[in-house]
Amino acid sequence: MLLRAPPTLSFLTLPDETHHRSPPPSTIVCAAAKGGSSNHALLTGVVFEPFKEVKKELDLVPSVPQQSIARQKYADASEASINEQINVEYNVSYVYHAMYAYFDRDNVALKGLAK
């Protein structure tokens, strides 16, 4: 995580300071102070910029809709047959699940056994 302390913060400056600088836009400025103490010393803040850290990884993600990270370079006929087999397996799994739900009931599986 990238944290850096800015030289001055406009809302944390002491009253006798004459120059005021504001943090750059699109940053979050955080400051912490210990409550209940009589010491009014100024604590420096930090600027949290999380997207600088992941900028390299975000540049690797393709922005063109035809490109994909997960898609392989199969021939169109091979890809179509693989997709068809996946659809068959999904449909069979739905049938098995429906059969399980039907035969799991007490009044269907073995009549009279639950008495």
Q: What CA–CA distances, in Å, run from 51 to 4, 56, 57, 59?
A: 14, 10, 10, 11
Per residue in 55-103, pLDDT (tens digit) is 888 888 888 777 777 778 888 899 999 999 999 999 999 999 999 988 7
Residues 29, 48 within the same domain: yes
The verdict on 9 and 56 lying in the same domain is: yes
46 and 97, same domain (yes or no): no
Same structural domain for residues 96 and 43? no
Print the domain residue range for 21.
1-68
Whether the pTM exceeds 0.85: the reply is: no
Statement to judge: residues 2 and 19 lie in one domain: yes
Asked whether residue 57 falls in the same domain as residue 84, the answer is no
Residue-wise pLDDT for 15-36, tens only, equals: 555 555 555 555 555 555 556 5
Could you tell me if 53 and 76 lie in one domain? no
**The 3-state secondary structure of 58-95, one letter per residue:** HHHCCCCCCCCCCCCCCCHHHHHHHHHHHHHHHHHHHH
- How high is the pLDDT of residue 109? 57
DSSP 49: -
User: Domain check: are 78 and 27 in the same one?
Assistant: no
Whether residue 24 is found in the same domain as residue 62: yes
Residues 5 and 58 both lie in one domain: yes
pLDDT at 78: 93
Q: How many domains does the chain have?
A: 2
Q: Could you tell me which residues are beta bridge partners of residue 47?
A: 4, 29
Residues written for the chain: 115
Residue 89, marked binder: yes
